[in-house]
Structure 1
Amino acid sequence: MTTTLADEFETHRPRLFSLAYRLLGSAEEAEDAVQDAYLRFSGADRTGIEHPAAWLAKVVTNLCLNRLTSARARRETYVGTWLPEPVVTADGTLGPLESAEQRDSVSMAMLVLLERLTPAERAVYVLREAFGYGHREIAGVLDLSEANCRQLYRRAVRRVGEPQARFEAASERQEELVRSFITAARDGDLAGLEKLLAADATWWSDGGGKVTAARWPIEGGSKLAGFLAGGGPKFTEGLEFTVTEVNGATGLATWAGDTLVGLAAFEVRDGLVAGVRAVVNPEKLTFARRQLARP
Structure 2
Amino acid sequence: MTGRERGDRRVDRNRDNHTDGKDLLARRFEADRGHLRAVAYRMLGSLSEAEDAVQEAWFKLNRSDVGAVENLSGWLTTVVGRVCLDMLRSRGSRREDPLEYYVPDPVVRVADTTDPEHAAEVTESVGLALLVVLETLGPAERLAFVLHDMFAVSFDEIARIVDRTPAATRQLASRARRRVQDATPAPGPDARRQREIADAFLTASQGGDFEGLLAVLDPDVVLRADGGRTLAAVSKVVRGAEAVISQALMYARFRQAALPVVVNGAPAFVAVVEGRPTVLMSFTIAGDRIVELQILADPERLAALDLSEEDLARATF
Give TM-score, length-normalised by structure 1. Answer: 0.84
Q: State the AA in 2 paired with 1:215.
A: S
For residue 66 of structure 1, what is the aligned residue in structure 2? Answer: 86
1:272 corresponds in structure 2 to 289
Secondary structure of the residue that 1:210 maps to in structure 2? Answer: coil
Using a 3 Å threshold, how does the CA distance of structure 1 residues 25 and 206 change in structure 2: closer, same or farther?
same
Which of 228, 251, 254 is equivalent to 1:236? 254
Counterpart position of 2:309 = 294
1:161 aligns with 2:181: yes
Look up the match of 1:246. Answer: 263
For 1:250, what is the secondary structure of its paired residue? strand
**In the alignment, which of 46, 58, 78 is matched to residue 26 of structure 1?**
46
CA contact (8 A) 1:188 1:232 kept: no
- What is the aligned partner in structure 2 of residue 260 from structure 1? 277
Q: Which has the larger radius of gyration?
A: 2
**Which one of the candidate residues 276, 300, 309 is aligned to 1:283?**
300
Describe the superposition over 1:89-113 as per-residue Cα deviations: whole angstroms up to 9, x where unpaired.
689xxx998498754xx21111111
Cα gap change, 1:227 to 1:99, in 2 (>3 Å): closer
Distance 2:118 2:62 in 1: 28
Deviates more, 1:182-191 or 1:71-80: 71-80
State the percentage of identical aligned residues: 32
Q: Secondary structure at the match of 2:105?
A: coil
- Decide whether aligned partners of structure 1 residues 206 and 162 sit closer, same or farther in structure 2, where only a CA change above 3 A counts: closer
Shift of residue 74, structure 1, vs aligned partner: 4.3
Per the TM alignment, residue 138 of structure 1 is displaced from its structure 2 partner at its CA by: 2.4
Q: Give 3-state SS (helix, strand or coil) of 1:46's partner.
A: coil
| More helix as a share of residues | 2
Q: Distance in 1 between matches of 2:118 and 2:153?
A: 17
The 5-angstrom pairing of residues 137-152 of structure 1 reads: 137-152=157-172
1:196 aligns with 216
3-state DSSP class of the match of 1:264? Answer: strand
Following TM superposition, by how much is the alpha carbon of 1:146 offset from its aligned partner in structure 2, in angstroms? 1.1
Matched letter for residue 235 of structure 1: R
SS at structure 2 position matched to 1:222: helix
**1:129–1:162 Cα change, 3 Å:** farther
Deviates more, 1:184-193 or 1:73-82: 73-82
Q: What are the superposed Cα offsets for residues 117-157 of structure 1, whole Å, 9 maximum, x if unpaired? A: 21111100001111122322323444532112112122223
Q: Which residue of 2 aligns with 1:179?
A: 199
**Match for 1:115 among 132, 135, 146?**
135
Check whether the contact 1:251–1:266 (CA below 8 A) recurs between aligned residues. Answer: yes
Q: Which moved more, 1:195-204 or 1:142-151?
A: 142-151
TM-score, structure 2 normalization: 0.78
Higher relative contact order (CA 8 A, sep 6+): 1
Indicate which of 156, 171, 182 corresponds to 1:136: 156
Secondary structure in 1 aligned to 2:247? Answer: helix
Task: Provide the alpha-carbon RMSD of the alignment.
Answer: 3.0
Q: CA deviation at 1:278?
A: 1.2
**Which residue number in structure 1 is paired with residue 8 of structure 2?**
none
Distance 1:96 1:186 in 2: 27
CA distance in 1 between partners of 2:237 and 2:121 (Å): 29
CA–CA distance in 2 between the matches of 1:80 and 1:132? 30
How many angstroms apart in 2 are the aligned matches of 1:213 and 1:167?
32
Indicate conservation of the 8 Å contact 1:17/1:31, yes or no. Answer: yes
Gap change, CA 1:118 and 1:77, over 3 Å in 2: same
Where 1:217 maps in the other structure, the secondary structure is: strand
CA distance in 1, matches of 2:221, 2:184: 20
Within 1, Cα distance between the matches of 2:293 and 2:300? 20
Larger deviation, residues 153-162 vs 269-278: 153-162
Residue pair 1:240, 1:257 contacting (<8 A) in 2 also: no
